[in-house]
Chain A
Amino acid sequence: MTSSSTNPPELETIRAQPGCYYSYGIPYLPIDQYPGRLIAIEGTDGVGRSTQIRLLREWLEVQGYGVIETGWTRSELMQPTIELAKASNTLNKLTFVLLYATDFADRLEKEIIPALKAGFIVLSDRYIFTALARAGVRGVDRQWIRNLYGFGIAPHLVFYLKIDEKTLIRRVLQARGMDYWESGMDLKLGDDIYESFRAYQRALLKEYTVLAEEYGFHVLDARRKVEVIQDELRRQIAGFLSESEISPVGVRPE
């Protein structure tokens, strides 16, 4: 559903207790009092999310926590279809939004919820906020996309690795170059991929800034060294885990 108005004032922010569904949820999967913890790491491309998650996982596992990782478009069900759709550029923004939501639903039911039930710490590389930001840039109705993701579970912690436009562009170019989707070429902002990429990433950063406020992200400056960011993540997570009285489940890494 698309809308021409960019910022309807009556937008209902969905607030939920951490570990609970944002809205109506999945009626056949009650999740109350599940012992696990859900930690999401958000941020645009090139901010070093996967590096930070790998380091966090090692650190948590050494302490005896059971950890699983989940990432955007990594579901067994949807990944091939999404890859195919991206390659052929045939889908419009609405079907794309729905494909991402299907992927998320599959991972939520098959990976995230079972892990929370078993007392694991779930490290999510990107979460629904990525979908909200991308849809926001593409003019998808904000209320509708929030309702759509009403079956999502509010994370206990959301870290946003924040970066500025200039650094972001340099990092992406250094790492692997620009691709069609990351450059928002589907938005037809222009034929110049560099200009399109800049405009798209700038719009995305703006969306994330709004979301950070709306959902209370813990914002970290991602321009700093990997170890410095990791230290800060560990400090905040350690504080949270001791407060929430979650103890290691005794599962050692295999």
Chain B
Amino acid sequence: MKAATKAGKKKNALTPMTFSLLHATDFADRLLYNIIPPLKAGMIVLADRYTYTAFARDAARGVDRRWVRELYNFAVKPDLAVYFKVPIEVSVDRLLARRLKLKFYEAGLDMGWSANAIESFRIFQGKVLDEYDRCVDEFGLSVINASGSITEQQRVFRRLVSQHLEIEANDEQLDESA
């Protein structure tokens, strides 16, 4: 699975539709092998990105929103979905600071919005964030303000999870380690 995605990306041969479908295939594979078995065993699965990432990214690329949502109908509905939200400037600054060079698809260069990678990325990221906002309302995502400190974010995050699992929030440990 990874091989086809990688090869397609390398050749810049993917269209928004094939990009979307390849990621759905990869997701289906991970769902069946890495997510469903631990759920059956009663474990907690922490998923770093889930179907909402695809909803936001694919719709930003011009794929039909309703189609992507139906495509992922086979996914397990999460018990809790948390969206770490940052304003567009922060998002762009953070991502740009972390990497020397933006990758082709990451920057949305396949869309032809701008030949300049950073400018293209800014446009793409703006659209992605708009799509995430839609998802917040549509799927009732819990939003955490991700502009604040990691400690603060983790405090809120733990409170959310504790409420959900009906266990005591343990902030003391957090304060020590942070």
Contact = CB atoms under 8 A, between A and B. Distances in A.
Given A77-B13, A81-B3, A148 B71 contact: yes
Contact of B21 (A91, A94, A101, A110): A101
Given A25-B64, A28-B62, A105 B1 contact: no
Contact of B15 (A2, A76, A109, A148): A109
Given A98-B25, A98-B28, A27 B74 contact: no
Contacts of A247: none
Interface string A20-57: 00011111100000000000000000000000000000
Given A1-B74, A28-B62, A78-B4, A105 B21 contact: yes
Interface string A69-107: 000000011101100100000011011001101100110
A141 B71 CA distance: 12
A80 B17 contact: no
A77 B62 contact: no
Contacts of A98: 21, 24-25, 28
B64 A95 contact: no
A99 B8 CA distance: 13
Contacts of A150: 67, 70
Contacts of A24: 64, 66-67
B69 to A, nearest CB: 10
B35 to A, nearest CB: 13
Interface string A105-139: 11011100000000000000000000000000000
Contact of A106 (B18, B25, B62): B18
Interface string B7-30: 110000111111001101100110
Contact of B25 (A26, A80, A102, A141): A102
B153 to A, nearest CB: 34
Interface residues of B, number: 27
Nearest to B13: A77
Q: Which of B14, B18, B66, B71 has the most CB of A within 10 A?
A: B18
Contact of B62 (A27, A91, A151): A27
Contacts of B7: 77, 80
B32 interface: yes
A108 B16 CA distance: 13
B22 to A, nearest CB: 6
A23 B63 CA distance: 13
B177 interface: no
Contacts of A2: 74
B4 A151 contact: no
A227 to B, nearest CB: 39
A230 interface: no
Contacts of B67: 23-24, 147, 150-151
B25 A1 contact: no
A240 interface: no
Nearest to B71: A148
A64 to B, nearest CB: 32
Contacts of B29: 91, 95
Interface of B: 1, 3-4, 7-8, 13-18, 21-22, 24-25, 28-29, 32, 62-64, 66-67, 70-71, 73-74
Given A2-B74, A94-B28, A141-B73, 13 more contacts: A77-B7, A77-B14, A81-B1, A81-B3, A94-B32, A95-B32, A98-B24, A102-B25, A108-B17, A109-B15, A144-B73, A144-B74, A147-B71
17 contacts: A1-B73, A2-B74, A26-B63, A26-B64, A27-B63, A76-B13, A77-B14, A78-B4, A80-B4, A80-B7, A91-B29, A92-B32, A95-B32, A99-B25, A105-B15, A147-B71, A148-B70
